């Protein structure tokens, strides 16, 4: 079975057990395969999530309900916002201050045209946090 065949198998897979990717994984431990349309290595769990659940409306991560990075069981994969992932302690790498706001709040702060001091007071964050969000120095992926 080629990686491409296995991808098709995973997208149609029915079962409760983790379906482990038998091919290569990237440095983060996630399954990868050469994806011709993009001419690059793509993370397979992402492709399975797209194939099984459709593309997310906004930028989201394909999250493992089972916590096994190598698993490509469609029933263990779901779209989650990055902030939801972060609040579960996955995808480490963001600072703690970014986890105290939700993606929804970040969007509202970006759209808020009031004085930054007032906005900061509303959300209980520092004025600089608001500035960084509005200037897209933080939360770039939202
Ligand atoms: Zn699994």
Looking at residue 94, its pLDDT comes to 35
Architecture (CATH level 2) of domain 3-87: Alpha-Beta Complex (3.90)
Q: How far apart are the CA of 124 and the centre of ligand 1, in A? A: 38
Over residues 127-131, the mean pLDDT reads 87
Q: How far apart are the CA of 61 and the centre of ligand 1, in A? A: 16
Q: How far apart are the CA of 70 and the centre of ligand 1, in A? A: 8
Over residues 5-32, the mean pLDDT reads 94
Instruction: Parse the chain into domains and list their residue ranges.
Output: 3-87, 96-134
Higher pLDDT, 38 or 62: 62
Q: How far apart are the CA of 104 and the centre of ligand 1, in A? A: 29
Looking at residue 113, its pLDDT comes to 93
Task: Grade residue 12 by pLDDT with cuts at 50, 70 and 90.
Answer: very high
73-93 pLDDT per residue, tens: 999 999 998 777 666 654 433
Q: How far apart are the CA of 50 and the centre of ligand 1, in A? A: 16
Two structure tokens written together for 17? 């057990």
Q: How far apart are the CA of 46 and the centre of ligand 1, in A? A: 13
In the predicted model, is pLDDT for residue 20 greater than 60? Answer: yes
CB atoms within 10 A of CB 72: 31
| DSSP letter string, 86-138 | HHTT-S--S-HHHHTS-HHHHHHHHH--S-HHHHHHHHTS-HHHHHHHHTTSS
Q: How far apart are the CA of 75 and the centre of ligand 1, in A? A: 8
Looking at residue 73, its pLDDT comes to 96
């Amino acid at each position: 079975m080629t990686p491409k065949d296995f991808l098709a198998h995973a997208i149609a897979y029915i079962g409760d057990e983790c379906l482990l990717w038998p091919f290569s994984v990237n440095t983060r431990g996630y399954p990868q395969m050469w994806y011709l349309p993009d001419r690059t290595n793509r993370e397979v769990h992402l492709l399975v999530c797209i194939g099984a659940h459709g593309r997310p409306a906004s930028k989201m991560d394909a999250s493992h309900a089972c916590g096994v990075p190598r698993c490509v069981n469609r029933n263990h994969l779901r779209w989650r916002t990055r902030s939801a992932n972060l609040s579960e302690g996955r995808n480490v790498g963001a600072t703690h201050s970014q986890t105290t706001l939700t993606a929804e709040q970040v969007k509202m702060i970006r759209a808020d045209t009031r004085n930054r001091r007032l906005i900061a007071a509303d959300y209980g964050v520092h004025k600089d946090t608001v500035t960084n969000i509005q200037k897209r120095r933080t939360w770039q992926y939202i």
